[in-house]
Amino acid sequence: MNFADLFVLAQRGLLRRPVRTFLTVLGIVVAVASMVIFLSLGEGFRRALGAEIGNVGPDLQVTLAGNESSSVFGSPIPDVPLENAARFESVASELGIKQVIPYILTARGSFSGQGYLIGGYPFERVPLSDIYPNLKLLEGRLFTPADSLGNVAVVGAAAAKNASLKLGSALRLNRDVSFKVVGILKKGDGFTDSFIFVPFNALAKGIGIANRATGIAIKLNDAGDARKVATALNARFTDLNAKTQGDVLSILDKAIAIGDAFRFGISLISLIVGGLAVANTVMMGVYERTREFGVIRAIGAKPSFVFSLVVLESMLLALIGGAGGVLVGYLGSFVVNFAVRDLVSVSIAAVTPRLILLAVGVAAVLGLFAGLLPARTASRLVITQALGRN
């Protein structure tokens, strides 16, 4: 018998109990779909962060060295002394530094749909378009040099919607400080949609911070020199840590990978349950078809053929369920993106080719291992005993 015969027999065996087969496949679909949806969150964040960081003007981010809480964009509390900006400017001509941009980032709102980031930058020296080149104005105006101490704000589209802000609205920072909205940006496809931009000095005064920043962004004459300049800065200023866009992405990718491992661990529980369901279905099929296997052996089939037949049935169950799980997971990720689109303005879930391959591979391995014990049992049946059973 060839593979075609093997496949026909496996298909016939599964269709003999269609309700049982359907319920088993459904269990695999749910298990694989949950894995795809969970892991698609990590894939979506990788894609969104890669695109977002690539769109940001500065080539280097500088924070304090040895502070884990400031490993990417800075500490939650601004802790970088502003005199460091002058230190970088003193070596600007030597290292090809074009702009030194201290910034403050602070989060406001909640996770109930009203969250946003407030970013303070020295717009009197560096235009907003230099820092975030892809931002476009929808209405109102951008900052002018006269706004350096003014309590004015330019608001991203998602932040404007979440905080119900319009031109002329007052954005309250705290009990004593508020900012007047003078510009609203067009809706884009990045995290900056949830940003509210204000002048650096006004934000520092509003939150009671003197001569400190969350971090310092650096723009170079030649972005291709980013790694060389970062190495030079780290060698000269050992109390600081300069990171390229690639470094930032690497750090974020590690954090996302940890989240992926956690989400996969959760999915593994449902995958194990699905695997047990496959093993149970195939084992029951073996007991119900003992006589059939005896006939197959009697007409010349080897034990390896019976073993392969049962394993193939198990893998077919798992692969059909895996394919269905990928489809349901894709639809689920679409629903997730639709639900949060207005809140974060990015697609936080993405079903990528490598995720599809992972899901199908996990389903195949699941089917293989679930079928090994039933296949071993079927291949070791004694022909005379098998034929004698009703």
Same domain, yes or no: 100 and 199: yes
Please list, residue by residue across 301-330, b when 16 or more beta carbons sit within 10 angstroms of its beta carbon and e when fewer do: beeebbbbbbbbbbbbbbbbbbbbbbebbb
Residue 71: the pLDDT is: 45
Whether 132 and 272 map to the same domain: the answer is: no
pLDDT digits (tens, 9 = 90+) for 129-180: 888 877 889 999 999 888 887 899 999 888 888 788 899 999 888 888 889 9
Q: How confident is the model at residue 303 (pLDDT cuts 50, 70, 90)?
A: confident
Q: pLDDT > 90: what percent of the chain? A: 12
Q: Tell me: pLDDT of 39 over 90.
A: no
**Cα gap 263→329, rounded to integer Å:** 14
Claim to verify: residue 87 and residue 202 sit in the same structural domain: yes
Average pLDDT score over the chain = 81
Both 129 and 199 in a single domain?
yes
**According to the model, what pLDDT value does residue 181 have?**
94
Mean pLDDT confidence for 60-67: 78
Q: Is the same domain home to 195 and 304? A: no
Residue 209 is assigned to a structural domain of this protein = yes
Q: Please state the rounded mean pLDDT for residues 20-45.
A: 86
Examine residue 58 and state whether it is found in any structural domain, yes or no: no
50-59, 151-160, 345-354 — which is least confidently predicted? 50-59
Domain presence at residue 245: no
Tell me if 93 is assigned to some domain. Answer: yes
Query: pLDDT per residue over 255-274, tens digit each?
Result: 667 777 777 777 788 788 88
Structural domain ending residue among the three candidates 238, 263, 289? 238
Structure tokens at 70: 């400031």
The whole domain housing 292 covers 3-50+253-388
Tell me if 244 is assigned to some domain.
no
Q: Which residue has the higher pLDDT, 301 or 302?
A: 302
The total domain count for the chain is 2
Q: Which of 209, 238, 267 is the last residue of a domain?
A: 238
Q: For residue range 194-206, what is the model confidence (pLDDT) as tens digits? A: 789 999 999 998 8
Instruction: Please indicate, yes or no, if residue 40 is contained in any of the structural domains.
Output: yes
- For a pLDDT cut of 70, what percent of the chain falls above it? 85
**Stated length of the chain:** 390
What tokens appear for 239 in the block? 């109390």
One domain, residues 79 and 201: yes
Same domain, 266 and 370: yes
pLDDT of 370 strictly over 80: yes
Q: H helices within 237-381, ranges in order?
A: 245-288, 290-298, 303-344, 353-379
* 191 compared with 32, residue with greater pLDDT: 32
- What's the whole-number mean pLDDT along residues 231-236? 90
Copy the structure tokens of residue 49. Answer: 């962060």
- Beta-carbon contacts of 357 under 8 Å, excluding residues fewer than 6 positions away, are none
The two structure tokens encoding residue 390: 């009703």
Provide the pLDDT for residue 384.
67
Nearest in space to 108 (alpha carbons), one of 46, 53, 50, 155: 155
Q: Name the domain boundary from 238, 267, 292.
A: 238
Note whether residue 248 is domain-resident.
no
Record the tokens describing residue 320, joined without a space: 């059909």
The pLDDT of residue 110 is: 44
Measured distance CA(16)–CA(285) in Å, rounded? 9
Sign of the torsion angle spanned by Cα atoms 227, 233, 234, 235: positive
Q: How many angstroms separate the CA atoms of 215 and 62, rounded?
A: 6
- The answer for residues whose C-beta is within 8 angstroms of residue 181's C-beta and 6 or more apart is 140, 152, 153, 154, 155, 160, 165, 166, 167, 168, 169, 170, 171
pLDDT grade, residue 324 (50/70/90)?
Answer: very high
Give yes or no: residues 42 and 184 share one domain. no
Residues 220 and 280 in one domain: no
Residue 60 lies in a domain: no
Domain co-membership, 263 together with 161: no
Residues 93 and 230 in one domain: yes
Confidence label for 45 from pLDDT (cuts 50, 70 and 90): confident
Q: Which of 1-15, 74-88, 176-190 has the lowest mean pLDDT?
A: 1-15
**pLDDT for res 111:** 39
pLDDT exceeds cutoff 90 at 331: yes
If asked whether residues 121 and 30 sit together in one domain, one would say no
